Amino acid sequence: MAATATPALTLRQLRFSWPRQPAPCLDIAGFSVAAGERVFLHGPSGSGKSTLLALIGGVALPQQGSVEVLGQRLETLSARARDRLRADDIGFLFQQFNLLPWLSAIDNVLLPCTFSASRRQRASAAQPARAEAERLLTQLDLAPDSWHTRAGELSVGQQQRVAAARALIGGPALLIADEPTSALDAARQQIFVDLLLREAAAAGAALIFVSHDHRLARHFDRTVALADINRAASEVAA
């Protein structure tokens, strides 16, 4: 995966406006993330970070320009093909974790393998997928006595590790994390970010990590301020 020269992400002449909003939210001439590159993207609340991630995930489509993910231009794909690309090749880590509270930690980690045959195959290449889920949880410092606890009963820090393992299972080539640390104190945030960086590197995955807190940036390959690539932001500020 890491060996491929295909960039994880290429944006070209991208323009996106939300319906009934007078000003464009995003206007990005060009931006790319290399295969395996780990990028820290920061910007204030409301600056369009989550919107950009929705475009990268193919959940929203731009009015103009192109979003190319792992060599595939999303605007040329059917909705079904975009769903498949997202399920097979993108690991999402959300601010609110989006775990299923009634499922155990381990069954939450295994969820992507039920939606994607290719993630299931990659997860179970060396050992059963369940053993791979356990390996990831161990790497992320979640003790075995929590593996069978329902996600709704775990602490915030534990839920976050489960969500990270779920994003990582089956080796998606692109990991997207949308402010996943905001519920943690500063020391725990840095520990979690370091774990995520290490696991992304081990998997050869590109990582786009979004936060409004640039103190977390120091161990990333590159730091980007959204305002520096988004011309819409300067229009609003001007």
Residue 35 class from Cβ within 10 Å (0-12 exposed, 13-18 middle, 19+ buried)?
A: buried
- Shortest Å, Cβ 55 to ligand ADP: 10
**Which one among 9, 11, 38, 49 touches ligand ADP, defined by CB under 6 A?**
49
Q: How far is CA 81 from CA 47, 72, 140, 166, in A?
A: 29, 10, 31, 22
- Shortest Å, Cβ 53 to Mg ion: 8
Chain residues 188-207 in contact with ligand ADP, contact rule CB under 6 A? none
CB neighbour list of residue 66: distance below 8 Å, 6 or more residues apart: 10, 11, 12, 13, 14, 73, 74, 75
CB neighbour list of residue 32: distance below 8 Å, 6 or more residues apart: 7, 9, 10, 11
The answer to whether the CB of 89 falls within 8 A of the CB of 9 is no
**Which one among 48, 65, 170, 172 touches ligand ADP, defined by CB under 6 A?**
48
- Shortest Å, Cβ 164 to ligand ADP: 19
Q: Does 51 bind ligand ADP (CB under 6 A)?
A: yes
Tell me, what amino acid is at 86? Answer: R
| Residue 116 contact among ligand ADP, Mg ion, none, beta carbon within 5 to 8 Å by kind | none
- Shortest Å, Cβ 212 to ligand ADP: 7
Locate tokens 């305002």: which residue? 227
- Shortest Å, Cβ 57 to Mg ion: 13
- Looking at the Cβ atoms of 194 and 235, the one nearer to ligand ADP is 235
Q: How far is CA 25 from CA 32, 52, 104, 220, 224, in A?
A: 19, 9, 38, 26, 17
- Shortest Å, Cβ 135 to ligand ADP: 32
Q: Does 57 bind ligand ADP (CB under 6 A)?
A: no
Pairwise CA distance, residues 187 & 203, whole Å: 25
**Which one among 17, 50, 66, 223 touches Mg ion, defined by CB under 5 A?**
50
Strands (DSSP E) along 101-184, which ranges? 174-178
Chain residues 8-47 in contact with ligand ADP, contact rule CB under 6 A? 18, 21, 25, 43, 45-47
Q: Does 78 bind ligand ADP (CB under 6 A)?
A: no
What is the binding site for Mg ion (CB under 5 A)? 49-50
What is the binding site for ligand ADP (CB under 6 A)? 18, 21, 25, 43, 45-51
